[in-house]
Amino acid sequence: MGQKVCPTGFRLGITEEWRSQWYARKKDFGSLLVEDQKIRGHVKKNYGFAGIPIVEIDRTREEARVTLHTARPGLIIGRKGAGIDKLKEELEAITGRQINIKIKEVDRPELSAQLIAEGIAEQLQKRAAFRRTMRRAVDTVRGAGAEGIKIQISGRLGGAEIARTETASQGKIPLHTLRAKIDYGFHVAITTYGTIGIKVWVYTGEIPVPVKETAHAADAQKG
């Protein structure tokens, strides 16, 4: 099951939070969902150079609050906030509602699975050797302090006629452990030979079990 379930959705409410947090009536839900997708698509297409792994959207009755997690916040903010003002105008034109934008800097971009996947995709599009690219990414992440990393790429690798899947991993990736903090990223590289899918899992440790739960488990064993 750990290989078939998205690690982010699997851990919602445990180690992961919802990317969109709002409530709507049944008749409005579909249009708001499409609106969220348009916002994310516009941000990733036009501001992907700033390294944005996560776009969070919160809604109130009057406005939508968009939080951008970015590795390079200065590129979005611009001089005297001109970049944010421009992005706000663009999103308001797309959605037709008031938009409030918040910027959060990614503390350790070298451990962000989404940014790693996008970096690998960029190199593959420049015709870099896929094995060397994967090996370099694995070494970089392990050197940054991750306990484990797994990279899987699929497609016409190296221009081969038959598509195949290649995997590179190091350390441990406990996909079934819910308290394990596993960051997951996916991106597509569009090459001259076709599309190549890149999946990345990064394991950075476990959430410590609360003392009360540990004591309760010990009492249960004694009983």
The structure tokens listed for 175 are 């996909």
Look at residue 1 in the predicted model and tell me its pLDDT: 44
67 shares its domain with 120: no
In a domain, 121, yes or no: yes
Q: Is the confidence at residue 216, as pLDDT, over 80?
A: no
Domain of residue 69 covers 7-105
89 shares its domain with 113: no
94-125 per-position pLDDT tens digit: 988 899 999 999 989 999 999 999 999 999 99
Q: How many CB atoms lie within 10 A of CB 72?
A: 15
pTM: 0.85
121-174 per-position pLDDT tens digit: 999 999 999 999 999 999 999 999 999 999 999 999 988 999 999 999 999 999
Look at residue 42 in the predicted model and tell me its pLDDT: 93
The stretch 45-57 carries a mean pLDDT of 92
Q: Is the confidence at residue 219, as pLDDT, over 50?
A: yes
What is the secondary structure of 135-157 as a DSSP string? HHHHHHHHHTT-SEEEEEEEESG
The stretch 44-57 carries a mean pLDDT of 92
69-95 per-position pLDDT tens digit: 999 998 888 888 888 999 999 999 998
Name the residue with higher pLDDT: 45 or 216.
Answer: 45
Q: What is the count of structural domains for the chain? A: 2
In a domain, 1, yes or no: no
85 shares its domain with 124: no
